[in-house]
Structure 1
Amino acid sequence: MGPIIPINEISQELNFLIAFVIGIGFGFALEQAGFSSSRKLAGMFYGYDTTVLKVFFTAALVGLIGLGLLNHFEMIDMSIVYINEYYMNSAIIGGVIMGIGFIVGGFCPGTSVCAAAIGKIDAMAYLGGSLIGIFIFGETYPLWKDLYIKNYLGDIKLSTALGLSDGLMVFLVIIAAVVMFWVGEWAEKKFNRPDITKEI
């Protein structure tokens, strides 16, 4: 819940309730965007449907610009906003594994829950496989621990790593988004599959 909890001293129970409501809203937004369809999600990898890129990049931009403005006008204390700790090896290996799972199964963990919630059997199977994978990783963690924690960089931000100001970083991400949206539009025309996209 970011900086709201320590500032307003919200109880743990209310914190969980707020997180639950936000989670339901997020799932509803995913379903409305069509992310309960594995074909739509796989379309990102094949190039015929870049909705995933557009939706999530837009969400990231809204959050990035919003935090930047709130910080600029001193309406939020960024020093108490949690930043995920970065383990380079884990990020790279985990990204490859998740990417393979995404293209083979047609879902990511979040979208699989969304699709399973509306009764899609393939999403239920994917979600079950994810839970089995989590269980196996947890039980065999001592075998992977050294690799998992190798190249630990802490709670570093991209702007800090590149030696840029937060404002310039926001501007560069906006430029990257414009370029990626253009590439997405080009890809959809280049790899168009009307017989698939009409059914989604």
Structure 2
Amino acid sequence: MATIAASRIKRELKEVKADAELIKDDVSVELMDNSYLALTGEIPGPKDTPYEGGTFHLKIIIPETYPFNPPQVSFTTKIWHPNISSVTGAICLDILKDQWAAAMTLRTVLLSVQALLSLPEPDDPQDAVVAQQYKENQDAYRRTARHWACAYAGAKSSSRELDEKVERITEMGFNESDARDALSSTDWDVGRAVEKLMS
């Protein structure tokens, strides 16, 4: 039996696939396991941001109570952003919480998440470490976000200097992902990153 949620998503998927703005921006959404209640989304990193050139994947879970409750959306591609958990991919975005309205659609969600990549809101963070770096050291934030976009989302032109720092720590026996996480949260200070990994 088709639920209200599933039939509404079926209609919204058609709208998303025919939406000129989303097509132009290469934003897409597909069914996961042929279920209208589990979707995967793809969002390109917006131009003139550290995420440019990367492709970011989303997991979208539609509750049975949709459209009266928002979908649960998270990044499955690791990303360095104040409003997205660098560990779980959880997103802090008002329309996915208390500002949701039944008139909103998948299109609204995809465009809002893409806009969040262009306009972080560090005063309402999901990841406190990234938000602090964003506020206190914009250069380190931009370099780190760019490095993560290259490492995890397929963006080009990574910083050789940052790649070498990751290599230095992996040569000490730490895995690459842990090394990158530690370096990112210590503004790329190798000594502090190693201390963090050993504590």
Q: TM-score, with normalisation over the residues of structure 1? A: 0.25
Find the structure with the greater CA-based Rg. Answer: 1
Higher helix share: 1
Q: TM-score, with normalisation over the residues of structure 2? A: 0.25
Higher strand share: 2
